Amino acid sequence: MSTATFEDVRTQAEQRLEKNLKIKSMIIDRLGLDAEAEVVSDNQPLFGRGLEMDSLDTLEIVVMINNEYDVLISDDDFEAFGSINALVDFIEAREV
Amino acid sequence: MTTAIAPARAAAGKEKPKTFAYSSDDIKRMLPHRWPMLMIDRAYDVVPGVSGRGVKSVSVNEPFFAGHYPDHSIMPGVMIVEAMAQLVAVVYVAELLEAPTPAEGDPSGSVGYLGSISSMKFSRLVVPGDQLTLEAKLGQKLGGLRSVSVRASVGTELAAAGSLIVTTERKG
């Protein structure tokens, strides 16, 4: 059993922030949103207030995530769209 | 009403999916579109709910050539997209039609709407005399929405390719 060092934890946190930022940029590019990735918060809702995504946008994101990470999101996985953090959690749990 | 053009057979241990072909008269039973908006003449290699190919023969008598343009006939890009979308509808209506127990009622009633032209690139002009070969591959679905990859070519030349989102049911 190994114990994570402070350095390990910091590297992990940095990687996660980088991934969140990458996914925000991908969503903004794909949907042509008028927003900067840096100002979208990780816990901001994707629907309604927040990024104001609709069902068509959601399918665009499902296709994008499948192409980029080979992760399938289906009708039952609505929790994946709670926020950027929820989406990245979902991807990380299923990524090969 | 339908003709199986390739019997299902085992190829290299992998079952080849059964494909169907539909004539213009078959298609009129599958789609609610009529002249001048029925933009697909024939469908073939249709794997219900998965993929298919189709043909649209472009004649100088198409009504849109009267105005697009009077002295320079070009098929409008949006009409090419319409032809692609109609092939997509044939592919998913075929799934209802070819099911072991087909749903009752008019299958053309399940044809939905175009939800998004997510990306589309036009690479060649389409003019009277051209025969468009259409291809559609259905992708992921979410609720009543379905993403699709589509392409149209004339002979060996690509005319247009891109991705669409369609609704597979009629809800506002």
pLDDT digits (tens, 9 = 90+) for B42-96: 999 999 999 999 999 999 999 999 999 999 999 999 999 999 999 999 999 999 9
Chain A CB within 8 Å of residue B171 CB: no
DSSP 8-state code for residue A83: B
Q: Which domains, from first to last, does chain B contain?
A: 18-167 (3.10.129.10)
Task: Choose the catalytic residue: B18, B42, B68, B137.
Answer: B68
Which of B77, B105, B91, B62 is closest to B166 using CA atoms? B91
Q: Tell me: ipTM over 0.90.
A: no
What lies within 8 Å, CB to CB, of B2 at 6+ separation is: B20, B21, B22, B26, B97, B98
pLDDT at B70: 97
Across the interface, whether the CB atoms of B145 and A63 are under 8 A apart is answered no
Confidence band (pLDDT; 50, 70, 90) for B7?
very low
B172, pLDDT greater than 60: no
Residue spans per domain, chain A: 6-94
pLDDT at A47: 79
B114, pLDDT greater than 70: yes
Distance, CA of A60 to CA of A29 (rounded, Å): 11
pLDDT at A1: 57
pLDDT at B149: 97
CA distance B142 to chain A (A): 5
B157, pLDDT greater than 70: yes
Chain B CB within 8 Å of residue A75 CB: yes
CA distance B143 to chain A (A): 6
pLDDT at B171: 60
What's at B29, amino acid-wise? R
| Nearest CB partner across the interface for A66, out of B140, B145, B165 | B140
- The model's pLDDT over B8-43, given as tens digits with 9 standing for 90+, comes to 444 455 788 999 999 999 999 999 999 999 999 999
- The model's pLDDT over A67-86, given as tens digits with 9 standing for 90+, comes to 999 999 998 998 898 899 99
Distance, CA of B82 to CA of B160 (rounded, Å): 12
Task: Give the rounded distance of the alpha carbon of B131 from its chain centre.
Answer: 14
In whole numbers, what is the pLDDT of chain B averaged over residues? 91
pLDDT at B16: 86
Question: Which of B140, B141, B142 to probe the A interface (max A CBs under 10 A)?
Answer: B142
Chain B CB within 8 Å of residue A38 CB: no
- The model's pLDDT over A22-39, given as tens digits with 9 standing for 90+, comes to 999 999 998 888 889 888
CB A10 within 8 A of CB A18: no
Q: Is domain A6-94 annotated with CATH 1.10.1200.10?
A: yes
Whether A42 is a known active-site residue: answer: no
pLDDT at B10: 42
Across the interface, whether the CB atoms of B142 and A55 are under 8 A apart is answered yes
